Amino acid sequence: MRPQWLIDLHEEFPGSAVVAAALGDALIVEPRDAMMGRWPVVEAGRTTVGYGTMPTMRSLRRVPQLGEAVFDDYATLRCSSYYRHVYDLLGRAAFFVPFTAVPDLPLRRMFDSDQVFIRSDTNYKLFPAGVHAIEELDDWLQTYDQYRDELVVVSEVVTFEQEYRCFCRNGRFVCGSSYPVEPYLPVPEEVRDFAETAAARLLALGSTMVTVDVGVGPDGELRLVELGGVNSWGIYGSNVDDFIAAMEAEALARAEE
């Protein structure tokens, strides 16, 4: 029996509407129901797959009998968890520091630049990741002071001319496309190979299905942008049928464990 899909439709997450349309028989989770903890009734013993916004998927993951619908392990998807396995693929210097340590770092000397890139350690972004002028960091740090106890990544700034999202299962490319703006382009073979290299290393952490975001620099060098999950990551121009097939195969494999 095919798995039952639980889809969180949201205007800010267009991928869920694309997947729901391709399925035709998905159970729709309304935003208010997710907020109130009212979940669809699924046939007893039926394998489930979830897809939608991260807040809803994180809530779904905690629901008895339905939590298996979410494959993403948010602890494993922290940079501080997976960077050790793929640091050489980043193609840039990056450091983990407490949020409160950022003002005291000799950033210009560390990166030989007047700019720095800062992102949250978590894969669900506590604050917008981005490039900052070092001389203007104080105002930005005050804006997000509520995260002063969190770990952050500071890294040198690199330029990407194109970025690709690759869905991988068991270390092999499943589907993908360029992102985040149209027209969506197919993933070149060398980017697929790079993504598979990164995804294969995550198997050591038990992450069998992940997204690998790959950036292509002006010189053609490939760099890992980040690794992510699959239940709350946009498919952009990916082949929706291939995505659905891989997600269902993953769900059924987990059900047999």
Count: domains in the chain? 3
Residues 6 or more apart whose CB falls under 8 angstroms from that of 202 comprise: 76, 82, 85, 86, 171, 210, 227
pLDDT of residue 134: 95
**pLDDT (tens digit per residue) in 28-83:** 998 888 888 899 999 888 999 999 999 999 999 999 989 999 999 999 999 999 99
In a domain, 77, yes or no: no
The last residue of one of the domains, among 132, 155, 178, is 155
Per the model's pLDDT, the better-predicted residue between 164 and 140 turns out to be 164
Q: Provide, rounded to the nearest whole percent, the portion of the chain with pLDDT above 90.
A: 89
In a domain, 218, yes or no: yes
The last residue of one of the domains, among 101, 127, 155, is 155
**pLDDT (tens digit per residue) in 217-238:** 999 999 999 999 999 999 999 9
- Examine the domain organization and report whether 168 and 222 are in the same domain: yes
Residues across the chain: 257
In a domain, 245, yes or no: no
In a domain, 149, yes or no: yes
In a domain, 244, yes or no: no
In a domain, 252, yes or no: no
Three-state helix/strand/coil letters over the chain: CCCEEEEECECCECHHHHHHHHHCCCEEECHHHHHHCCCCCCCCCCCEEEECCHHHHHHHCCCCCCHHHCCCCCCCCCHHHHHHHHHHHHCCCEEEEEHHHHHHCCHHHHHCCCEEEEEECCCCCCCCCEEEEHHHHHHHHHHCHHHCCCEEEEECCCCCCEEEEEEEECCEEEEEEEECCCCCCCCCHHHHHHHHHHHHHHHHHCCCEEEEEEEECCCCCEEEEEEECCCCCCCCCCCHHHHHHHHHHHHHHHHHC
Q: CATH number of the domain that 203 lies in?
A: 3.30.470.20
Domain interval for residue 126: 92-155
Of 8-12, 186-190, 222-226, give the lowest mean pLDDT range: 8-12
In a domain, 178, yes or no: yes
- Examine the domain organization and report whether 123 and 141 are in the same domain: yes
The closest of 12, 13, 57 to 34, measured between CA atoms, is: 57
Q: Provide, rounded to the nearest whole percent, the portion of the chain with pLDDT above 70.
A: 100
Give the count of beta carbons closer than 10 Å to the beta carbon of residue 120: 20
